[in-house]
Amino acid sequence: MTHPAPSAGPHGTGPRRTGLADTIAAVATAPGHAGVGIVRVSGPDALRIADEVFGGRRRPSRTPGGRFLFGPLRAEDGELLDEGLCLVFRAPHSYTGEDVAEFQTHGSPAVLGQVLGRILALGARTARPGEFTLRAYLGGRLDLAQAEAVLGLVNAGTETARRQSALGLSGALGERVAGIAAGLTRTLAAIQALLDYPEEGVPDEDRAAPLAEAERDLRGLLGTARAGQVSTRGARLALVGRPNAGKSSLLNALLGYERSIVTPIPGTTRDYLEAGVELAGVPVTLVDTAGLRETDDVVEAAGVRQAAHLAAHADLVLVLEDGSAPREALPAELPEEGRVIRVQTKADLPPRWTDPAALRVSAVTGAGLPELREAIGQALLGDAARGEAWLTTERQADAARRALAHVGAAQTLPDDLAGFEIEEALHALAELTGQDVQEGVVDAVFRNFCVGK
């Protein structure tokens, strides 16, 4: 599959760096055997190299961009390596913005290895992870958030992750950020225009109102960060409670198969175990833990300590209490309210207590499971609306948080200092989209890519 070059974002002018004279090459498809495999070459020599590899009558370097040729691919001594396609892209109309040739061959490691080896022998060098996309960013074809969205699409394991990454790639996040930045820039201009006349002061409609609006927009944007991150990297959900509360039974019910051992004997689960499942479009790792209780058993005590630790580090914690037995306090501290869902288990039996804050669920009959799934989805995704662009990486969320802090500070300060805070907020927003960003940050983003993308 080829990747049509996406249109540049609204302000898609990434910093240009020199030193892109190299021609780079890599296998772009996954290792292993497949019907088709792709080797990609990008850079100033891409089409000259393609002329040597492609043995058909027509030469790639004389072929207009956006066309493909079919013919033999040859080794240096003329031996036939395979028959395949050579796709020709010409700068700037390619994924990287450079001249690009893509060879589509039969998808075996042997064929792909020979074709890539020939290309490298002709003067290309092996591409580093994400280097094709890095070039698209450096050439201004993608902003940094769009590059992260490319990675999100490559890694997407669920429909939610795919949808949000596709939105990010379309530049929707960059546009949302640009809208906030535009408002801040106008406010900054209004403040600077009146700095020489401090006795006048900037009228509220030019300062207080737009700053409040920027704050609201940034809060809305940050409200999507948790959803964006859990939908792409996944979430950890720990089940905790006293022994026999029904943790292992509920884990099995959520999974739909018997993963964890269930017995009437308290203290059955002494180690923890994990299992993956998709809930509300989020890849969730369910973690079953040892029951929380005071115990003299060394192994069980270690499991209880571990359970508390797992709960502290989970994205979300289901706190289970046996609804068919008298309620007892849990012998452990629980995470803060926002990260907890309370569950009253064994809803098929007569309840011995009621608590409107707890969801009643039966692992035996399945009653309450749909509501529990719904509550988990709500807790993980919040009110982040499906159609809007979300912050999908911690890097993006961090930049948005800093922008919000500066906007908050600007609202409380006199004009000259407020102007400084607004500049800092704009700086953070420019980092979010990668217009104004340290090289180390860019490197960190692209380190997570695979070779060939």
Residues contributing to the annotated binding site: 40, 102, 141, 244-249, 263-269, 288-291, 453
Sole binder of ligand GDP in the list 84, 107, 291, 335 (CB under 6 A): 291
Alpha-carbon radius of gyration of the chain: 28
- Does residue 135 contact residue 97 with C-beta atoms inside 8 Å? yes
Q: How far is the CB of 371 from Mg ion (least distance, A)?
A: 22
**Partner from ligand GDP, Mg ion, none binding residue 249, C-beta < 5-8 Å depending on class:** ligand GDP
Q: Which stretch binds ligand GDP (CB under 6 A): 331-339, 345-353, 385-393, 416-424?
A: 345-353
Q: Which stretch binds ligand GDP (CB under 6 A): 51-59, 262-270, 278-286, 405-413?
A: 262-270
Residue 243 binding: pick among ligand GDP, Mg ion, none (C-beta 5-8 Å cut-off by kind): ligand GDP
Residue whose Cβ sits closest to Mg ion: 269
Tokens of 360: 């009643």
SS3 126: strand
Which one of 94, 160, 269, 435 is in contact with ligand GDP (CB under 6 A)? 269
Residue closer to Mg ion (CB basis): 240 or 426: 240
Part of the chain binding ligand GDP (CB under 6 A), chosen from 86-94, 124-132, 244-252, 429-437 = 244-252
Residue 363 binds which entry of Mg ion, ligand GDP, none, CB below 5-8 Å type-dependent:
ligand GDP
Q: Does 307 bind ligand GDP (CB under 6 A)?
A: no
Question: Does residue 4 have a cis peptide bond before it, meaning omega lies within 30 degrees of 0?
Answer: no
Q: Binding-site residues for Mg(2+), please? A: 248, 269
Among 63, 104, 231, 269, binds Mg ion (CB under 5 A): 269
CA dist 325 and 246 (Å) reads 12
Q: Which residues are annotated as a binding site for K(+)?
A: 244, 263, 265, 268
> Which runs of consecutive H residues, i.e. helices, occur in 284-414?
298-313, 369-381, 394-412
d(CA 385, CA 108): 42
Q: How far is CA 356 from the centre of its chain?
A: 35
Cβ closer to ligand GDP: 240 or 445?
A: 240
Q: How far is the CB of 269 from Mg ion (least distance, A)?
A: 3
Q: Cα separation of 377 and 113, whole Å?
A: 44
Q: What is the smallest separation between the CB atom of 242 and ligand GDP, expressed in angstroms?
A: 7
Q: Which stretch binds ligand GDP (CB under 6 A): 133-141, 303-311, 357-365, 416-424?
A: 357-365
Q: Give the pair of three-digit tokens for residue 42.
A: 């990008």
Residue 247 binds to ligand GDP (criterion: CB under 6 A): yes
Output the six-digit token pair for 250. 């509920």
Contacts with Mg ion, 246-265, as mask; x by CB under 5 A: -xx-----------------
CA distance 431 to 400: 9
Contact with ligand GDP (CB under 6 A): which of 364, 369, 405, 409? 364
Bridge partner list, 104: 38, 85
437 touches ligand GDP by CB under 6 A: no
Q: Which stretch binds Mg ion (CB under 5 A): 23-31, 73-81, 84-92, 243-251?
A: 243-251
For 211-244, b/e burial (b = at least 16 CB within 10 A) is beebbebbeebbebbbbbbbbbbbbbbbbbbbbb
The binder of 264, among ligand GDP, Mg ion, none, by C-beta within 5 to 8 A per type, is ligand GDP
* b/e map 378-404, b = 16+ CB within 10 Å: ebbbeebeeeebbbbbebbbebbbbbb
Torsional sign, CA 199, 205, 209, 211: negative
Which entry of Mg ion, ligand GDP, none binds 348, CB below 5 to 8 A by partner kind?
ligand GDP
Q: Based on the shown chain and the rule CB under 6 A, indicate whether residue 369 belongs to the binding site for ligand GDP.
A: no
Instruction: For strands 273-279 and 340-345, give the pairing.
Output: unpaired
User: Per the structure block, which two tokens stand in for 346?
Assistant: 């064994």
Beta carbon nearer to ligand GDP, 158 or 248? 248
The neighbouring-strand residues paired with 68 are 87
Question: Residues binding ligand GDP: what is the number (CB under 6 A)?
Answer: 21
- Residues 247, 273 contacting (CB under 8 angstroms): no
**Minimum gap (Å) between residue 296 Cβ and ligand GDP:** 18
Q: Is 244 in the site for Mg ion (CB under 5 A)?
A: no
Question: Torsion over CA of 86, 90, 92 and 97, rounded to 10 degrees?
Answer: 30
| Residue 271, both tokens | 């180690």
Residues binding ligand GDP (CB under 6 A): 241, 243-249, 262-264, 268-269, 291, 345-346, 348-349, 362-364
